[in-house]
Amino acid sequence: MPIEILMPALSPTMSKTGGKIVKWHKKEQDKVEVGDVIAEIETDKAIMEFESIDEGVLAKILVTEGTSGVPVNQPIALMLEEGEDESALNNYTSTSINSAVKREVTKSAVDNQKSEHQDLNGKPISHSSVSFQRVTLESNPSMSSQCLTLGSRKEEDTKTTEGRIKISPLAKKIAQNEGVNVQQLKGTGPYGRIIKANVLEFLGSGIHTESPEKDTIVEVSNMRQVIAQRLTESKRNVPHFYLTVDCQVDKLISLKNEINSADENNKVTINDLIIKAAAFSMKKFPDINSSWIDNKILRYSNIDISIAVALEDGLITPIVKNADKKGILSISKEVKDLVSRARSGKLKPEEFKGGGFTISNLGMFGIKAFGAIINPPQSCIMAVGASKKQPIVMNEKIEIAEIMTVTLSVDHRAVDGALGAKFLNAFKHYIENPLVMFIETAVTY
């Protein structure tokens, strides 16, 4: 069947004004290769080049040079596949336009047959390029045309000099879909442009890269939905401010190692000691242990500390209750139990709902410092980073020390900056002098 070459929509106004066939670069019976410029079309903006993306023979030109006002999607020429009999043209009937429009275009073609490729001043008009897509006629065809303006030759040359590769839109789309690196291709189209045939030849050679991964939509769990809702509300409604302090943890690490060497069955972690230090600091500054609720401040009587535990589909914050009244080994055993049951989904609601303060520790992932989002309705959350050896000045000398960065996120409605700073300094004191915690624990009991 003949292949209709349609008048493309090269500008927004062409649907009203139509286009003008300025020049045919191919004559009837000429062979057309992929990438060949077939014709030039004038819009209200510029003259555009038609570039073939198919092979065949230009069998019949329906609209002659100089014809103006050719409607969009109007057939302007017919192509036959190479080797196809010309008798196929005898039964050709276009369904793209009605006969009245066709007669008008034919008459215009006769009147303008000798018009030249010039503007009103008789000067040549600058060119830009465009690609067209063929449409094959069937018994009840639906006609369509796909054209993409590539910009002026000057713009193309500029892009090439800047290291960008000239490639036709269709070739680029095929390359992207098939995961082909266009830098591996050699263009055989006009001005060295990569065309469809170059991409298909590369794919057929077997030197093919892997197909690109496709985007996927993931249905989220109820837990993830709750996390998204609560933290979005927190970040939007809670006026956060942040306080950061560096803590020297050499003594803390030594203490942890001594405890673990004394009882290998009950090993404690740095995080256990951090929970204890935070509990003692909250006891010194109880206003930290509060929530802003209905324009009032609720101060909690118990020091219950939530610890952030990462799960596969989110996180949960089990609570170490009355942390200030528990010893290090007791806290360590309770944390291990809470974390284990949290990851197996066996926590009771009362074990993760509530709490007056949260600790989030990403030190085990090598994170130096970060600012956490407050877990409402609490007023504070402490973000703990990894400890790292670094030089510090001690007694007018440079020493190497293990430093841990801690950032406190604070709800400014309930806690002011000075109070947050005092609390953080108290925490730093306990971390850098961990034996004090044991002394105060002994006095309490």
- The catalytic residues are 412
What is the spatial order of strands in the sheet that 47-51 belongs to?
Answer: 20-24, 37-42, 47-51, 127-131, 148-152
Give me the phi and psi of 87, to 5 degrees please. Answer: -65, -15
Which of 437, 415, 310 is CA-nearest to residue 361? 310
DSSP H or E segment with residue 391 = strand 380-394
Q: d(Cα 169, Cα 87) in Å, to the nearest integer?
A: 34
Instruction: Enumerate the β-bridge partners of residue 150.
Output: none
Please compute, for residue 168, the number of CA atoms within 13 A of its CA located in the half-sphere on the CB side: 34
Q: What is the DSSP string of 366-383?
A: T-----PPP-TTBSEEEE
Using the CB atoms, write b or e for 140-152: b if 16+ within 10 Å: eeeeebebbbbee
385, containing H or E segment: strand 380-394
Sequence-distant (≥ 6) Cβ neighbours of residue 64 within 8 angstroms = 21, 109, 110, 112, 113
In the DSSP assignment, the letter for residue 180 is -
| Calpha distance 276→358 (Å, rounded) | 13
Distance in angstroms (rounded) separating the CA atoms of residues 96 and 335:
75
**Which pair of structure tokens corresponds to residue 232?**
């979005």
Alpha carbon distance 252, 389 (integer Å): 14
What's the CA gap between 288 and 55, in Å, rounded? 77
- Residue 58: in which H helix or E strand, if any? strand 56-61
Kindly state the tokens that stand for 269: 């972690």
